[in-house]
Chain A
Amino acid sequence: MDNILKVPEIVTNIASFLSIADYLSFQQVNKQVYTIINGKNDSNYWSLKLTRMGLKRVYSNETKDVNLLNENDDDSPLCIFEVYKSFTSQESKRIFKKFYRCYSSYARKLYNNNLANFFPASYSDDPLKQTRILNSIKRYNFSNKNDMETFSRIDTNFNILREIFINSVLKETELNYQSNNLAAVARFMKILLTSNEESNAIEFFKSKADLPPTLTIIPSKDRLFWEEQTNESSGKAVVFNSKNLDEYFNQLRDFMNEKIKLADILFKDEFPVILQFIESFIQDVLLDILNNILLSYSEFLKANGKDCKANYECVPELYFTFIKKFDTELNNSVNAGPTFHKVVHDLLNLYLEPFVVNYMNQTTRVFESLICSQLANYDIQVQNKEREQNEKLYNSLKGQTDATSTDNTVSSNNQSTVAEISINAPDTDPKGKSISQLGHSTNISDDKLDFLSSFTKIFKFSNNENQKLKQQLQIAYNLNLISNNLQNIKSLISLDLCYKILHETSEKTDEIYKFHTIESLLPLIKLRCQEIFKILITQLNTNHVKPAFEKAITLLQKYNPNEIEQIEIKFDSLSPANTQVEPLVQFTELINIGDIILQMISIFYKNELIPKKIIDKNKDFLNDVIQLKKNFETSIDDFVAEGLNIGINKLMDEVSFVFKTMQLPDDYNPSLPSINSPIRDIKPTKCAVRVVELLSNHCFLLTGATDKGTIDVYQQEIGERFFNEIVKHLKKSFISTEGAIWLICDLNYFYDFIANKLKQKNVVPYFVGLKSIGQLYIISSKDSKELGKLISDLGKFNGIFTQEEIYEFVQRRSDWVRVRKDVEKVMYGLGIRDCCIM
């Protein structure tokens, strides 16, 4: 048995499991053992204990202050862990001795569970020192870990003691808080924090910062929301009665500021309890309030007959109120440090983000229906107005029928009366007075009765006179209807409305874009803003611009200038000569408006979407927003092209009509002047003047209304078509050598218009060609052979006309029969009459 102790391994191993007292005794067993656990092995024992207490073993003590080691008087249990943080193995026993001196008495008490008067009198008044000693004891006890029995016994008892201690601290804290001794409370908080009892500290703070339940009750709907949701001064949509809302949130804010102050007093900058507090406030209080407000708003909307699913529209206002009240307007907090406001902002963003996302998802739909309804309303207004006008017109004409059919016998001046009405009807004042004065002396309330009676009377006296009268009335009605409809083309698109909608789009984009401070939402914000823009274009296009253009084009198509002309002639209208194709004029106004809308959208796109980087022009060139915008532009362009095409058709109908009705036979084929007959001035014929007037009234309508390219195409088209009309007209005329002067005059006049007013270079050659054609007629019939040579020379006519055409033209000479033989001889080498059967 004794021999075991001769083995150094066994001895050191045994030693390592011994408590201090046993170890020291073991050393004394015999010389052999003593020699084994001396020197290096001894210092190993002590080093291990120190290491277990958390000290660091170093191999040189150069950095150590040697003096410190020698001072053994001042080593207090409060700070010894601060003094010795590292050791070398040589000095391990000495250092451990110091720790032992400090804490062995406490350890013994704990081991024996002798807890009465645990701390010496010098510490009894200072719980903070006690806390520190307790922390140190716990640490010291780790040195006993080689002796598990001692260690665990001490540890168990220590924990009991500590619990008692903490409880008494909490009790004291509560008592001091009750007596409003905040300084003492702060001290105890420090104790709690020192003893790693943060959760207790937070719990305590929270228990002192409970929100008074009255503050969680949101104001009533009527106090919170406005019924009329637009602010007159700014034009912005406003949901909340901000005075009441602020009032409510100010209470909450003041409460928070109070708590910030409290946290500053209690915790100073030692533990950021306020951030946890604010987070739970946001989570538990603010989100509840937010949900309640949303619910309340939804009910409010429902009660006011609005879309209750639009309740998230209040989120932006609410969000920014939250940011303002619960971040910006909060006091600085020592407790939370300098980043306080930013951290709170981030917290708010974190918790409010789902609401913002919901809002953004909802708002595009709300926006779409808002725009849609505005456009629909406008459409209804226009239709109502139109119907009203038509009814008024019809009633007034019917009233006239009544008057004329009662004094049926005086039918001789019927026509003139009807004519008068047809002129006056469009300008009838709203109450229809002038009509009732003209026709019947009844007032408007009897109109319906009159209408009915006149209606029956018409049937009673359905003789020829009345039939005719009715027909005339119908014509007059239709005429006025057409002119009213034409006036209405302009009102098919409302610039004001478009402007308003664009303004709303801009507001909505701004509203959404305001959230760009929440970085995680940026992609969604961009997406929603793009969607808003797409909605704008789609709605404008499908519900406003497109139907307007379609209707305008239909009206254009229906318009028959000659019909109107005839009616005008028939009724001997007082209006000056009609030198305008009315629907074309109106249509160009529509083009103008369409162009303005396109420009507004472009400006919006450039000034709002690009600077805010909602769309990156360079990256997103395939983006559907840009595509949609382009499509819209193209569709307007197409409408413009179609409308203009029809308009040009109508214009050419009008030109052709003027040629047919105003060009007199002797314009180009005057009867031979007798000695006393006057000679006509050499100047363009009335017909030519009128045609050019007609053209110049229409060629320049588009100037400023659309892009140069469209205008050029439009004017060139008019020029070419006009040229064709002239050719057609020439081929129907008879021109004598004498009359050729006037033809040349007219052709010069046309050329002048095209070359100097229209200034479309592409069509000028056509009119140069026409000038050459004019010269075919001035040639004397004696020069018939030369004439033949001339028409064979295509270069003379700039290649504008084919040989056949020129031949057709020359046949319009009044002396064709006489010159034909010579001409054909030159052209074909021999005249037709020279042919004979061989």
Chain B
Amino acid sequence: MSSEDYGYDYDLLFKIVLIGDSGVGKSNLLSRFTKNEFNMDSKSTIGVEFATRTLEIDGKRIKAQIWDTAGQERYRAITSAYYRGAVGALIVYDISKSSSYENCNHWLSELRENADDNVAVGLIGNKSDLAHLRAVPTEEAKTFAQENQLLFTETSALNSENVDKAFEELINTIYQKVSKHQMDLGESNANGNANGASAPNGPTISLTPTPNENKKGSANNCC
């Protein structure tokens, strides 16, 4: 295996998951952000897809590794695998479809249940271009976001509106958290997701979980 498989082109690597109901536009948000592409008749995602984009914050190159999920996954074991090691998440709903907004609560609790406590979360009302079909008032969503300490943006993957902003805000937040977390914890916490984040060059953050991760959920295996 040659070295080109290994990314030396970043300082920090953040795993971010995209969650939300099926059909709210997660895949198009992602392709708009990473490839600046939009596919009018894209099919629903099967399983999980990956994409990356590198941003620069504070002179640090931050690689966002974004997991695009199907939104229909019934198996908790699989969803928990998706959330494992994520430092950020975007809960996406469709502003023209109230049910997708109502489900955000469910997505949030699933996220809280599976992901790291420090995970940064953004709420995204997608398809803002469909203003004439709007079913979810901006203010209501904004309030919901504030109550749950979520970032909030309304975006349109179709016309690119706010897409970069939404991702950048989230990544910024994660970066702040990581820096703070690092300051708070020093290098004492090896179990955290940001272990060794202080190293200036090379890959420093492992997002792959360590086997002896000690979290709630799957801890008790007895019958």
Contacts and interface: CB of A to CB of B under 8 A. Distances in A.
Partners in one complex: yes
Interface of A: 664, 666-667, 673, 675-676, 678-683, 686, 737-738, 741, 744-745, 747-748, 751, 755, 768, 771-772, 774-775, 778-787, 789-790, 796, 822
Interface in B185-223: 195-196, 202-203, 206, 208-209, 211, 218-219, 221
Given A673-B206, A681-B5, A772-B47, A779 B78 contact: yes
Given A678-B7, A680-B6, A682-B65, A778 B78 contact: yes
B208 A738 contact: yes
A350 to B, nearest CB: 75
A417 B50 CA distance: 48
Contacts of B1: 664, 666-667, 686
B56 to A, nearest CB: 18
Interface string B77-94: 110111010000000000
B102 interface: no
A664 B2 CA distance: 11
Contacts of A741: 50
B46 interface: yes
Q: Nearest 8 pairs between A and B by C-beta?
A: A786-B77, A783-B77, A678-B6, A782-B218, A771-B47, A778-B81, A779-B77, A679-B203
Nearest to A798: B46
B5 A680 contact: yes
B222 to A, nearest CB: 11
A822 B220 CA distance: 13
Contacts of B65: 682
A787 B75 CA distance: 9
Contacts of A774: 47
A809 to B, nearest CB: 14
Determine chain A's interface SS by DSSP, over half rule. Answer: helix
A464 B1 CA distance: 37
B156 to A, nearest CB: 24
A504 to B, nearest CB: 53
Contact of A790 (B5, B50, B75): B75
A682 B68 CA distance: 13
A780 B81 contact: yes
B77 A790 contact: yes
Interface of B: 1, 3, 5-8, 13, 43, 46-50, 52, 65, 75-78, 80-82, 84, 195-196, 202-203, 206, 208-209, 211, 218-219, 221
Contacts of A768: 46
- Most chain B CB within 10 A, of A738, A748, A775, is at A775
Contact of B49 (A673, A748, A782, A796): A748
10 contacts: A667-B1, A679-B7, A748-B49, A775-B48, A778-B48, A780-B80, A783-B77, A786-B76, A790-B77, A790-B78
A751 B77 CA distance: 23
Contacts, number: 90
A680 B50 CA distance: 13
Contacts of A775: 47-48, 78, 81
A744 B218 contact: no
A664 B5 CA distance: 13
A785 B80 CA distance: 14
A679 B75 contact: no
A474 B81 CA distance: 56
B208 A673 contact: yes
A782 B219 CA distance: 7
A450 B33 CA distance: 69
A780 B84 contact: yes
A796 B75 CA distance: 10
A745 B49 CA distance: 7
Contacts of B211: 781
A683 B196 CA distance: 24
A682 B51 CA distance: 8
B218 A783 contact: yes
A664 B203 CA distance: 22
Contact of B221 (A673, A686, A755, A822): A822
Contacts of B80: 780, 783
A644 to B, nearest CB: 30
Nearest to A787: B77
B47 A784 contact: no
Contacts of A686: 1, 5
B47 A782 contact: no
Nearest to A681: B7
A788 to B, nearest CB: 10
B77 A682 contact: no
B46 A751 contact: yes
A141 to B, nearest CB: 113
A679 B203 CA distance: 6
Contacts of B78: 775, 778-779, 790
B6 A679 contact: yes
Contact of B52 (A681, A737, A772, A789): A681
Contacts of A786: 75-77
A768 B44 CA distance: 11
Contacts of A796: 75
B50 A780 contact: no
B76 to A, nearest CB: 6
A500 B211 CA distance: 75
Contact of B195 (A675, A755, A772, A822): A675
Contact of B206 (A679, A745, A751): A679
Contact of B202 (A673, A678, A755, A781): A678
A116 B65 CA distance: 144
Contacts of A778: 48, 78, 81-82
A779 B46 contact: no
Nearest to B13: A679
A783 B211 CA distance: 12
